[in-house]
């Protein structure tokens, strides 16, 4: 198990404007999505003590007239500040304990996240019995809009957003059960039937080495919480913000179906043993995504786990299904990322879903399995090819052409 959490080291690199936000608590966000919801996060480990964070500041450190508590050091370029950090501005996280390196740059209508995807908190042990993969540093860049446009289209999103610490949210899995009678069942990550090797952060590791969240990490949420109930925990790919309610104030609109499952001669995918699975006549219990149904008359959130808070649309990460949004209600056409830094996405994120039936048939898998392997938006072709056991060129040849 990795060592316990140490204070975050926050280095603001957006120049004078960003540095002033550290020293002056009244500094406002440049992100118009903030509106009257003003999420801030205390840069500290989730302990009972207030922890000072190390900030590299480019301003004149001889000016200590500000009321914010400042501890001077002999090195005038390094100032230790105890303060609340506005995560809506540009910022950089560097954690020597866990190797976390994240740079978020806000400007010109976009939020660009460059991350090595290493979490800034303790994790479970990997590999483990349910997950054979080892956590490793990535080289990823995500670009999301900061002026989101609501469409209400509820577009499927394999990766609906990225946490404030640079670790992606990816609630669905690549595992499934397929039946000779034609039915397919996507296996949920947070269930009790199959061991997918998730740790206490509701996270595990992909074959590429990328650690990712399937639900809320209480350690991550605690590290960025304030006195408010809502904790800003991430940025959605359509530009809206992602929150977690400490009090569980928002109830999802999903409930278990009361209809028995159907399907004969059903077999699980390789990661869950490739064994025969009894499906026909069994009752939904949350093992599969289709066990859950959405009802407009239930809960406080829409089908994408979103709602309007103080006039601004936002997504809520919840402790119950769907845990993290499975779809997005904003325009994602300007979003991109998940590729190695410096490269573009493999396909545009917006628009209708491509027809993957022929590609899935050629690979001998279901469309759901192919979608799960591709990830996105946009899809990660290198990771998908590794999961599917083929080359990137072979996968590209099977996929429909870009519009």
Confidence at residue 376, expressed as pLDDT on a 0 to 100 scale: 53
Q: Would residue 57 count as lying in a domain?
A: yes
**3-class secondary-structure state, position 246:** coil
Confidence at residue 144, expressed as pLDDT on a 0 to 100 scale: 97
Confidence at residue 160, expressed as pLDDT on a 0 to 100 scale: 97
Confidence at residue 375, expressed as pLDDT on a 0 to 100 scale: 66
**Torsion angles phi and psi, residue 115, rounded to 5:** -145, 150
Question: In the chain, how many domains are there?
Answer: 1
78 pLDDT higher than 90: no
Q: Would residue 1 count as lying in a domain?
A: no
Confidence at residue 17, expressed as pLDDT on a 0 to 100 scale: 33
pLDDT band at 2 (very low <50, low <70, confident <90, very high): very low
Mean pLDDT comparison of 14-18, 151-155, 210-214, highest-scoring range: 210-214
Tell me which of 403 and 20 has the higher pLDDT.
Answer: 403
Q: What is the DSSP string of 46-92?
A: SSSS---EEEE--S-TT---SSS-EE--SSTTEEEE--EE-TTS-EE
Confidence at residue 260, expressed as pLDDT on a 0 to 100 scale: 98
Contacts of 141 (CB under 8 A, 6+ apart): 112, 113, 114, 115, 337, 339, 340, 341, 342, 343
Confidence at residue 84, expressed as pLDDT on a 0 to 100 scale: 55
Full residue range of the structural domain in which residue 301 is found:
9-398
Confidence at residue 288, expressed as pLDDT on a 0 to 100 scale: 97
Confidence at residue 395, expressed as pLDDT on a 0 to 100 scale: 85
Q: What percent of the chain has pLDDT over 90?
A: 58
Q: Would residue 4 count as lying in a domain?
A: no
Confidence at residue 92, expressed as pLDDT on a 0 to 100 scale: 95
CA dist., res. 41 & res. 120, Å (int)? 14
pLDDT band at 354 (very low <50, low <70, confident <90, very high): low
Confidence at residue 374, expressed as pLDDT on a 0 to 100 scale: 79
135 pLDDT higher than 60: yes
Indicate the pTM of the whole model.
0.69
Q: Would residue 104 count as lying in a domain?
A: yes
Q: Would residue 88 count as lying in a domain?
A: yes
Residue count of the chain: 403
- Range with the lowest mean pLDDT among 1-15, 239-253, 299-313, 318-332? 1-15
CA dist., res. 258 & res. 396, Å (int)? 40
Average pLDDT score over residue span 296-310? 95
pLDDT band at 392 (very low <50, low <70, confident <90, very high): confident
Q: Would residue 403 count as lying in a domain?
A: no
Average pLDDT score over residue span 45-61? 35
- Residue identified by tokens 């109930």 is 229
- pLDDT tens-digit map of 195-237: 999 999 999 999 999 999 999 999 999 999 999 999 999 999 9
Confidence at residue 142, expressed as pLDDT on a 0 to 100 scale: 97
Confidence at residue 400, expressed as pLDDT on a 0 to 100 scale: 79
pLDDT band at 16 (very low <50, low <70, confident <90, very high): very low
Exposure letters 328-351 (e unless 16+ CB within 10 A, then b): bbbbbbbbbbbbeeeeebbbebbe
Tell me which of 116 and 364 has the higher pLDDT.
Answer: 116
pLDDT band at 401 (very low <50, low <70, confident <90, very high): low
Confidence at residue 207, expressed as pLDDT on a 0 to 100 scale: 93
341 pLDDT higher than 60: no
pLDDT band at 356 (very low <50, low <70, confident <90, very high): confident
**3-class secondary-structure state, position 330:** strand
């Amino acid at each position: 198990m990795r060592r316990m959490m140490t204070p975050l080291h926050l280095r603001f690199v957006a120049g004078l404007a960003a540095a002033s936000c550290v020293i002056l608590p009244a500094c406002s966000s440049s992100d118009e999505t903030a509106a009257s919801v003003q999420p801030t996060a205390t840069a500290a480990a989730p302990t009972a003590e207030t922890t000072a964070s190390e900030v590299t500041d480019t301003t004149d450190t001889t000016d200590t007239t500000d009321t914010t508590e400042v501890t001077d050091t002999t090195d005038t370029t390094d100032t230790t500040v105890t303060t609340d950090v506005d995560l809506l501005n540009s910022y950089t996280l560097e954690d020597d304990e866990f190797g976390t390196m994240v740079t978020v740059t806000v400007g010109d209508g976009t939020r660009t996240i460059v991350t090595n995807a290493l979490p800034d908190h303790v994790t479970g042990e990997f590999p483990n019995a349910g997950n054979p993969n080892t956590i490793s540093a990535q080289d990823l860049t995500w670009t999301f809009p900061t002026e989101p446009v609501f469409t209400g289209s509820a577009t499927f999103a394999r990766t609906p957003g990225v946490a404030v610490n640079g670790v992606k949210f990816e609630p669905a899995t690549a595992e499934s059960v397929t039946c000779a009678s034609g039915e397919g069942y996507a296996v949920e990550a947070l269930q009790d039937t199959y061991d997918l090797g998730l740790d206490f952060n509701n996270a595990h590791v992909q074959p590429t080495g990328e650690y990712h969240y399937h639900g809320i990490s209480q350690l991550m949420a605690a590290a960025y919480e304030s006195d408010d109930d809502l904790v800003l925990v991430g940025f959605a790919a359509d530009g809206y913000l992602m929150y977690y309610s400490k009090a569980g104030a928002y109830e999802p609109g999903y409930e278990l179906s009361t209809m028995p499952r159907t399907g004969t001669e059903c077999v699980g995918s390789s990661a869950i043993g490739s064994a025969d699975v009894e499906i026909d006549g069994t009752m939904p219990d949350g093992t599969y995504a289709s066990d859950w149904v959405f009802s407009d008359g239930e809960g406080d959130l829409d089908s994408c786990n979103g709602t309007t808070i103080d006039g601004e649309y936002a997504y809520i990460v919840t402790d119950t299904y769907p845990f993290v949004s499975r779809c997005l209600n904003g325009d994602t056409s300007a979003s991109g990322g998940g590729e190695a830094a410096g490269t573009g996405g493999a396909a545009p994120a917006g628009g209708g879903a491509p027809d993957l039936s022929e590609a899935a048939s050629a690979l001998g898998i279901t469309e759901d399995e192919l979608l799960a392997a591709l990830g996105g938006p946009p899809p990660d072709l290198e990771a998908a090819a590794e999961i599917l056991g083929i080359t990137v060129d072979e996968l590209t040849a099977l996929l429909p052409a870009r519009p």
